[in-house]
Structure 1
Amino acid sequence: MKIIKKYDEIEISLIEEFIKNHSQKNLTRMKEIAAILNHFKGYSQCVDAFIENSQANSLSGKNLFSEIIPVCEYNLKIIESVFINPDQIMAKFVLNIYQLKLQNHIISILSDVKDTASYLEKLSQLYKKTTILSKHFSSLNLGHDDMFLNKMQTNIFQKYLDTYFVSELKNLKDNLLIILQKFYASKGHTRKQFQAGGFQELRRDLQTVISTRTNFNIMHIEDYGGETFLSENVAIAFLQEFNQSLERCCTLSTSNNIPSNCYQIFEVLTMYLIEDFVDYGIELAVQSVPIPEAKTHEPPSIIFFEVVKQVHRIIVLYENQFSETLVPLIITTPKYSQCINLKKNKLEQIESKIDFGLDRSLNAITGWIKICLASEQKKSDFKPEADVDTMISVACKYVVQYLSSNIKHIRECLDDKNAELVFVELGIKFHRIIYEHLLQFTYNSAGAMCAICDVNEYRKCIKDLGSKLVINLFDTLHALCNLLLVKHENLKQVCFGETLVGLDHSVLSNFIQLRSDFKTQKLGILLKNLTSR
């Protein structure tokens, strides 16, 4: 027992001397002591003392990550000079850094974080720094293979990574919801619940019919002061949150889980951006498309075209982010097709709702035109009692001004392809209104000249639509109006002219019967002759 005790005393004394010489940087004596202790159990204690003393004063501050590699490089030279098994000693040196210094540093930082967003960001930063550190160790050939370093990193972070993605999704949802709430709060708006089914549409259809005839309202159309409740800034804020989530996902998820986790993140983005924000904004805009009313001469202001412009810009941002950020992460996995299908389905729903809103907007425009013509066009415009100066009618002036302003607005808001489709539809609707409107009057020669002037003005206006179909329709309408003016003996020749020769007999008949001299000139006989052509 005395011998064992003496051995212990000698080992303790040698270890103390080793530490003393370490402090004095006396590598020669350190090497001698290490060689002596190598044959005794105190050797491991000597190594532990060396590691503890080497790391005590340098690896304790906020700059831990930047200090580790220089400390290791410096001590590697000492280890190679002092110990006979430097690789094993260096491995233990690094292991102590990971298991004690680094792990305690990470626990300390993450335990101080109170909110989820900051926690996730700190976790991602720490994991990245640790990954970079491990790569540095590997590149410096400090005696550690990648598997050893990865295992140590996994041991530090595993408990955090096990619950990471649940926190990630919750944080993303919470942040997107906060962005939405702040936006609506800035507009003084409380989100509405829309009635399902067709009851709301039925009420609107009834109101459309009633409002053209009476001042009675069965529903109120809220226009929100022209507010669209859409914003590119909100979309950009959403996409920034999305990018941050994706970046953390790629950092903190295993390679096997990255595609699935990316899909779930994209699913959350799509739900909040497309469904909760864009779709809701479109729905509000659709509901706020005005119903023209007979009691007011104020032309309705259509903000839906502005909504379409904003939606288009937001969708472009969404599509670009999808292609540039998400696709490279999942393109070789089954999740790619799932993301494509999700995006396709949601955007088709948006497109369908936009089409519905555009149709309703065109109906609002043409509805007001019908009301304006009905209230402003006088019978005397087309059948004056005496000769008057030939000029466009007041009704025509109002209609052209309103239609021109809407054509300009549509062109500013819609891309060329969609504008072309809308212009064709608008032109056809407008032609039908003017055609049916003209059939309601009787025309003498002076009135026919006025009608031709009006139609010429409409022709000038619709040229801005850029539709050959619509231009041809109004050219034909202009030719039909000539049937109201030409001498009765020339009617047959005009009917067989190039512009009208292909028209149905009933169309020609309808216009000829509008002439004030139809009965006096016995033009009914002419109509019978036309059927034989």
Structure 2
Amino acid sequence: MDLDVLTKWLMSDGSGYDIVEVDTTILGDLVNAGLIAPQFITSTSQADWHSVAATSQRLLNTTDQVDESRFSPDLAAALLNDCKTAMNRITTLSEGPEASENILQCFLRLLNALGTQHIETELQYSLQAIPGPEPKQEPDIRFFHAILQTNNSIQLIERYFVMDIAPLLLGTQQQAILLQTKEKVFGQLEELINIGVDKALLCMIGYVRNILNEQKRSDFKPESDLFISECSPICKRVVRSIDNQIVRLDQTVDGKNLTSILNEFGLRFHRLITDHVFKFEYNISGGLMMLQDISEYKKCSKKFRSSTVEQLFSILHALVNLLVVVPDNLRQVITEGHLASLTRDIIESFVQLRTDYKSARLHAMITTDQ
């Protein structure tokens, strides 16, 4: 097509024409020549809009950064379908090295539009919406929904690549370029997810820490003996918060991501409870109170579905039990069950929390064999 002839024809009435669809081989020349007039949108219903444009406009109008609707499966599907249509044209109209290069460029545009411009942007929004590490109210973490949507979109891209694109580029230079770029984009998304998970867990654990901080030193050194039949009100609130967060995780995350997040959540919860135990000194009644709480946390640990977390809480329960063991029985108890495999330093660090540690000479009880 002669560009001079086309220029003369398009400018014949001095106003130019709106171009709705044009062969991409001359689109760049038309733009450079200033022959394409902007289309002024007068429709507000979006009924006649392309699905990608309509979804993009809705996302731009969404002001709530924590709204999971910002992630659009419809947009992902529409972009993928457009890419498939373009690929069909490429394989029909080009061949050989030219076809390989066109396929590469087309798929790179899909990665950029869906992976970078949509998914990465929305992950950033969701990441910013996660509350800080010491929330006063129980956090509702929407970021985990973003993980689910991200993984769904990545699976769509990966499936399309494996089934339709990879066979077309087999053995070509473009195949290596595409693999490298794809892994780079996916790696950037994974890095954002890891940052978000860490921030979310910090927030969730921070809220539990704020609850635990309501317990005072005097709570575990009551002046009179108490009848302890259940865990403390603080413990009940902690367990309720953990339950709520796990329910939300089950609703928004699945597969290996869920397993990994629950395991890390459980490990951090164990670390928090262990640190909490070390904040106090205990007489017998106080030790019984803490032991009741730890028993409840031990039951709660099963909900993390991690054998490691369950094992850690079982060991912690055995260690906290040392707070209430009769001094004469200490030497025998520390050689049994979970405690038998622990060093004496670890065992003594818990025994030292007893108010009778010095008066009852408990150090000698746990450092000598006879």
TM-score, normalised by the number of residues in structure 2: 0.82
Matching residue of 1:364: 203
Matching residue of 1:118: 21
Matching residue of 1:378: 216
Q: Deviations over 1:254-301 (max 9, x none)?
A: 55421111111111111111111111111222222211446x3x1112
1:329 aligns with 2:168: yes
CA distance in 2, matches of 1:524, 1:116: 88
Matching residue of 2:278: 439
Q: Offset at 1:487?
A: 0.6
Q: Offset at 1:428?
A: 1.5
Matching residue of 1:308: 147
- Where do 1:189-338 residues align within 5 Å? 224-227=65-68, 229-293=70-134, 296=136, 298-338=137-177
Distance 1:115 1:449, change over 3 A: farther
SS in 2 for 1:500: helix
Q: Match of 2:77, as an amino acid?
A: I
Query: Larger % of helix: which?
Result: 1
- Which runs of no fewer than 5 residues in structure 2 stay unpaired? 1-16, 31-38, 40-49
Q: Deviations over 1:15-64 (max 9, x none)?
A: xxxxxxxxxxxxxxxxxxxxxxxxxxxxxxxxxxxxxxxxxxxxxxxxxx
Q: Match of 1:238, as an amino acid?
A: L
- Work out the number of aligned pairs and report it: 339
CA distance in 1, matches of 2:198, 2:267: 12
| 1:381–1:393 CA contact under 8 A, matched in 2 | no
Matching residue of 2:47: none
Distance 1:346 1:225, change over 3 A: closer
SS in 2 for 1:118: coil
1:409 aligns with 2:222: no
CA distance in 2, matches of 1:293, 1:367: 5
SS in 2 for 1:508: helix
| 2:235–2:293 CA contact under 8 A, matched in 1 | yes
TM-score, normalised by the number of residues in structure 1: 0.58
Q: Offset at 1:484?
A: 0.7
Q: Offset at 1:340?
A: 1.6
CA distance in 2, matches of 1:389, 1:449: 7
Distance 1:318 1:470, change over 3 A: same
1:424 aligns with 2:263: yes
Distance 1:165 1:318, change over 3 A: farther
CA distance in 2, matches of 1:165, 1:348: 32
CA distance in 2, matches of 1:226, 1:382: 43
Q: Deviations over 1:118-139 (max 9, x none)?
A: 345xxxxxxxxxxxxxxxxxxx
Which has the greater radius of gyration?
1
Distance 1:188 1:411, change over 3 A: closer
Matching residue of 1:395: 234
Q: Deviations over 1:383-410 (max 9, x none)?
A: 3333234211111111111112222322
1:503 aligns with 2:364: no
Q: Deviations over 1:433-473 (max 9, x none)?
A: 10110111122222222212211111111112221111111
Answer 1 or 2: higher relative contact order, Cα 8 Å, separation at least 6. 2
Q: Deviations over 1:54-104 (max 9, x none)?
A: xxxxxxxxxxxxxxxxxxxxxxxxxxxxxxxxxxxxxxxxxxxxxxxxxxx
CA distance in 2, matches of 1:388, 1:115: 85
1:350 aligns with 2:189: yes
Matching residue of 2:7: none
Matching residue of 2:3: none
Matching residue of 1:184: 59
| 2:66–2:129 CA contact under 8 A, matched in 1 | no
Q: Match of 1:257, as an amino acid?
A: E
Identity %: 30
CA distance in 2, matches of 1:165, 1:248: 18
- Which runs of no fewer than 5 residues in structure 1 stay unpaired? 1-113, 121-160, 168-173, 190-223
